[in-house]
């Protein structure tokens, strides 16, 4: 029992430098966007970025929904918008990391921009159906 308790701090001390290096965009390739996108788009997205963005955008669409729009459709559309927004923002973060800039700034700034556009769309009134000819 005591070996398990002493192993956790040793494991944390060993993994802390690796986690700190990875959190600031430290990948083995410096100027390769594809390599950085593996971290920002795939690994960070699978850990929690994609589900969080999908739920946040679904709630955003429900909160700013125009009364003429259906609730269920807006929730589904918001979830899909969150998926697209996170992956596009992950690409912006990978691009900024390859330029040796702050990737977190790119990720959150582009997510905020997508959130504003998404809220404006959800708030807009739906178009009328074209008349049958």
74 and 49 Cβ atoms separated by less than 8 Å: no
In a domain, 8, yes or no: no
In a domain, 103, yes or no: yes
Q: Quote the pLDDT of residue 81.
A: 93
CA-based radius of gyration for the chain: 20
122/109 Cα distance (integer angstroms): 20
In a domain, 90, yes or no: yes
Domain count, the chain: 1
59 and 77 Cβ atoms separated by less than 8 Å: no
Phi-psi region at 126: left, alpha or beta (left = phi > 0; alpha = psi -120 to 50): beta
Q: Tens of pLDDT along 16-67?
A: 555 555 555 555 566 666 677 777 777 777 777 888 889 999 999 999 988 8
In a domain, 53, yes or no: yes
In a domain, 107, yes or no: yes
Q: Tens of pLDDT along 79-129?
A: 999 999 988 988 888 888 778 788 888 889 999 999 999 999 999 888 765
Domain, as residue range, for 47 = 27-123
111/103 Cα distance (integer angstroms): 12
């Amino acid at each position: 029992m005591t070996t398990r308790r002493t192993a956790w701090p040793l494991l944390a001390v060993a993994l802390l430098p690796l986690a700190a290096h990875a959190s600031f965009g430290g990948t083995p390739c410096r100027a390769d966007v594809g390599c950085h996108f593996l971290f920002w788009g795939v690994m960070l997205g699978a850990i929690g970025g994609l589900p969080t963005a999908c739920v946040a955008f679904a709630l955003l669409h429900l909160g700013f929904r125009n009364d003429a729009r259906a609730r269920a459709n807006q929730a589904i559309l918001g979830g899909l918008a969150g998926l697209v927004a996170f992956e596009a923002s992950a690409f912006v973060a990978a691009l900024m990391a390859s330029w040796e800039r702050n990737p977190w700034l790119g990720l959150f700034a582009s997510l905020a921009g997508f959130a504003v556009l998404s809220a404006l769309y959800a708030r807009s009134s739906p178009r009328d159906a074209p008349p049958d000819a």
